Amino acid sequence: MLENRKEDYILKYTVIILVLLGIIMVFSASYYTALNSMGDAYSFLKKDIRAAAVGAVAMIITSRIPYKLYGAWAWIILAISVLLLVLVLTPMGTTINYAQRWIYIGPISIMPGELAKPAVIIFCAWYLNREPERTASLRNGTAPMWLLMGICALLIMKQPNFSTAFIVCALILLIMIISGTKMWHIGVTMLIGVLAAVVLIAIEPYRLTRIVTFLNPFADAQRTGFQVAQSLIALGSGGLTGVGIGESVQKMLYLPEPMNDFIFAIIGEEMGYIGCLLILILYAVFVWRGIKIALECQDAFGMNLAAGITFMVGLQAMFNIGVVSGTLPNTGVSLPFISWGGNSLLIMMACAGILLNISRNNISVKTRDSKLEEDEENKLAFLQKLFKVNQS
């Protein structure tokens, strides 16, 4: 009988280190904001620890659930995700800072946009590989993906949340590529996406302003470029080794929401270039192990699921760090496992658990063949022994 491998411990400990660093930096980055707005300097720290604890439980649970079951639940998972995207736009949704992205059920908040990311990964990984010929079909393969992109993008843009809509569509496109969709279908999909992005940027002045600000954040450093300018000041102040944990100046009500999208700037200020490099190495290790798990997977669904989760984490990390360092326009994407936010942390840790389950339930072809040969040899030895006993 074939034995399952042990889960990928390098991946597991990488996630644990990122989460622990996140807790430390959320406390440091949020101290003055929490004290000023809530009167409790430990407010964000306590919430982040609770979210990390729930996320740890979720990661343990998903690491034990056989990943192939998600394929059986793919339609249900997608339907629930789309339903939540609709409900958040009704009076059930809560508006914060002009964005209607949350559904509150008592003390529990749900962000349907965050849930949509793993939902589309699971569905597309299952749908495009359930019948391999779909990848070559415009009607049965590519067109349904276009429809899914359109529905998700439309509902998420209504919140509004341009960055999440972009990531969801990018995840669908990735699954299409690695599933073997025809290249001209991919090309048309990308062309449609670019045209849609141009139109969406043109019809909303604030999106165009972000593009202009990205090109020169210090041109209007007191208004449109304020966040990016303060972020760059923080990164520049850190130098090689940083000013020390807890010693940031920019978090003292200069940089808005320093524990969220711009927490990497506080890391750069307090831990310096070395701290930033450590974070980049940890994300590189996560992506490396995720790709390794995907490549070793023995079925297309598991491979695409692992690749999609890995790409989701890597893409978000790249976008967040790019915005903070001024190399990408401001997109409002959180830093995976580190930024404050219960929904994001819970979902990321649960997805890490799925990756661990894929690593545990797939053995390499070489290992599989050697085990089969060993089983055959054992059976043959047993039969020979039994035959000799009967003869005697």
- pLDDT tens-place string over residues 22-35: 999 999 999 988 88
Distance, CA of 372 to CA of 376 (rounded, Å): 6
8-59 pLDDT, tens digit each:
999 999 999 999 999 999 999 999 888 888 888 899 999 999 999 999 999 9
Supply the pLDDT for residue 40. Answer: 86
Asked if residue 202 has pLDDT above 90, the reply is no
Paired strand residues for 376:
none
Rounded to 10 deg, the angle between the 300-324 and 162-179 helix axes is 140
- Cβ neighbours around 213 below 10 Å, total: 23
Residue spans per domain, the chain: 9-361
Supply the pLDDT for residue 32. Answer: 87
**Span 156-183, mean pLDDT?**
91
Supply the pLDDT for residue 301. Answer: 93
User: What's the Cα-to-Cα distance from 122 to each of 57, 189, 217, rounded to whole Å?
Assistant: 21, 20, 38
Rounded to two decimals, what is the model's pTM? Answer: 0.87
Query: For strand 99-105 and strand 108-110, is the pairing parallel, antiparallel, or unpaired?
Result: antiparallel
Q: List the Cα angle 43/47/53 in 5-degree steps.
A: 150
Asked if residue 166 has pLDDT above 50, the reply is yes
Supply the pLDDT for residue 116. Answer: 95
